Amino acid sequence: MPKLDGSFWKQHSFLAIEMRRVRHPVYLRRNICCLGRGTFNVYLLWPGILAALLSAVFQCPPVHAGSFALNEQSVSGLGTAYAGAAAQADDASTIFFNPAGIALLHQGEFQLGGQLIVPRATFTNEGSRYNLPNTPVNGMLLSGGNDGDGGVAHVLPNVYLAQPVLRSRNYGDLTVGVGLSVPFGLETDYSPGWVGRYAALRTKLTTFDIQPTIAYRLFDRISFGASLDIQYASARLTQAIDFGLAGAELTAQFEQALPGLLAARGVPASAIPSLVTATEQAYSKAGFVPGGRDGVLEVAGDDWKVGFTLGAIVEYWKGNEQSFFQDGRFGVSYRSGISHTLRGNASFRDVPAITAAGAPVQFPQPNAFQDLFFDQNATAQVDLPEIYHLGLYQRFQRQYAIMGDIAWTRWSTLQSVPIVFQNAATPTTVLQLDYKDALRYAVGFEWYATKNLTLRVGFAYDETPIRSASFRTPRIPDNNRYFVSIGLRWSPTHFMDIDVGYAHLFVQDSTVDFTDTQGHELRGKFDSAVDIVSAAVTFRWGGPKAAAPAAPQLPGKEPVGYSK
């Protein structure tokens, strides 16, 4: 263990080092000791241990749609890797991807679905250490193990309802609907003793969208739709605080001042070295060394906000207009960004008093940590990104269909997160996230094997918005990923469909080289993957809309009995 001599710490307080993610440090001057004729001044920086923790949740995700966005909103869409989701309009789940799609539904529909998401994220430590240049502890390895798997399985609900209101050749088609979905979210959970505990312990972010929708179809070719996104967001996360490192800094300055202070009190010079050594040993034994005394910070907050989604679908081919191609359409949609102000509280556990049993001289202000690290309210402003969607659906040979899809998520709007604390001594901190925009590409294929059975397969490539390893935290061990899926629909009756799907996400190894505001550098690699199993049941009612007059059949030709 390197000796933390006071002369060095007097000039290089670890709390006064400005790390990359903290751009606005504020120094708080505190007179913590007055012995004899001398005053011992310590300068503490509160650059945002709380802020760093809050920022981590807003970099968060299950790894399914870039960072913490979730594509898992449709069981039928899962089978084709959500290819053509903005154009297919296969069932009421089109409300989420493109609200215009419900205008193409022939009957009223209610769909209830669930998607079991099982993520895996195992970490391998590769020399995690203290990154505090020009300090005695620089390069010292962090204690703790690899932890194991930080992923947490969850079931995401999908509920959709669509009802045709008007079907008219003269006035067009009007449909209304409502959806319940979870567009953003994640949960990771690590053990208290793992090596990355100062970066993350538990992270949970959840959003729920209630989406009332209206859609109108004009000229039997062009459909428009709009939804309100009434969104609830909540976050809860925990992280360890290295009070051992902070205590070592304070006691080192105190121990440096001890010889002069004891001499001023009349202590014989021959006795001073032994008293100082005994004091140093007592505080080291009490855990005031790097990694020796951990506390825990938990932050929780929630908020309601409203956004919107707009969409359009153009049907360039319909029915049997061509001998090879049948239904063909493309769709576009726009989901607005939503700015949340999460309001909640920050609570601290295991905040130590700076005392040491058996120390000849006690630290003069044992409650120095409690004076700074106490429960208080906090708010954080986070801007969830807007999403642009372009999809294509083309049916051919009556039995088959191919879909394509491109989605652009404007993660670059999430560059920083301002956090404000109730305590006046805790300054507003601006967190720099530096996300970049990300694209998702998907292709899918459907085979309408019989009137009652549809088979699906899909593939997608999904980019991460995280720029580099230095911005990747264990809360979001995210990287570029490949998405392979299969699925089927079985229609046991004319009024009910059952959809099932399975997908596996191959995630590129996620290298982490993340340094927090206290100087803990987590270095290693995450081996990640995700499995998704889903099922949904759809009930339909009401008769189909009036069909256009059938085209005259050529002699000897009979209509094929396949149906989507």
Residues 465-493 have pLDDT tens digits of 988 888 888 887 888 999 999 999 999 99
CATH code at 330? 2.40.160.60
What does the pLDDT read at residue 524?
A: 92
| CB half-sphere exposure, 303, CA atoms < 13 A | 20
Annotate 211-277 with three-state secondary structure.
EEEEEEEECCCEEEEEEEEEEEEEEEEEEEEEHHHHHHHHHHHHHHHHHHHHHHCCCCHHHHHHHHH
563 domain-assigned? no
189 domain-assigned? yes
Q: Is the dihedral of CA 167, 488, 184, 65 positive or negative?
A: negative
Phi and psi at residue 56, in whole multiples of 5°? Answer: -60, -40
223 domain-assigned? yes
DSSP structure string for 335-399: E--EEEEEEEEEEEE-PPPS--TT-SS--S-TTHHHHHS--EEEEEEEEEPPEEEEEEEEEETTT
Q: 47 lies in which domain range?
A: 6-351+364-541
Number of folded domains that form the chain = 1
* Residue 6 near residue 417 (C-beta atoms within 8 A): no
Phi and psi at residue 269, in whole multiples of 5°? Answer: -60, -35
374 domain-assigned? yes
395 domain-assigned? yes
56 domain-assigned? yes
**Angle, in degrees to the nearest 10, between helices 243-264 and 272-285:** 160
Largest interatomic CA distance in the chain: 120
* Residue 130 near residue 533 (C-beta atoms within 8 A): no
How many CB atoms sit inside 10 A of residue 27's CB? 14
The pLDDT tens digits for 59-118 are 333 444 456 788 889 999 999 999 999 999 999 999 999 999 999 999 999 999 999 999
379 domain-assigned? yes
Nearest-5° Cα angle at 255, 249 to 261 = 135
Instruction: Give the pLDDT of the chain (564 residues) as one tens digit per residue.
Output: 444 444 333 333 323 322 233 333 222 223 333 333 333 333 333 333 333 333 333 333 344 445 678 888 999 999 999 999 999 999 999 999 999 999 999 999 999 999 999 988 889 999 999 999 988 899 999 999 887 677 788 888 999 999 999 988 888 899 999 999 999 987 888 888 899 999 888 888 889 999 999 999 998 899 999 999 999 999 888 889 999 999 998 898 888 899 988 898 888 888 889 999 999 999 999 999 999 999 998 888 999 999 999 999 999 998 777 778 999 999 999 999 999 999 999 888 999 999 999 899 999 999 989 888 889 998 888 889 999 999 999 999 989 999 999 999 999 988 776 777 788 776 566 566 788 999 999 999 999 999 999 999 999 999 999 888 888 888 878 889 999 999 999 999 999 999 999 999 998 888 999 888 789 999 999 888 899 999 999 999 986 554 444 444 444 433 334 444
- Helix then strand then coil, in percent of the chain rounded to 5, is 15, 50, 35
Q: 66 vs 167, 331, 350, 449, CA distance in Å?
A: 39, 22, 35, 34
Distance CA(182)–CA(66), nearest Å, equals: 15
Query: Residue 173 corresponds to which amino acid?
Result: D
425 domain-assigned? yes
Tokens of 43: 């300068």
Distance CA(171)–CA(174), nearest Å, equals: 9
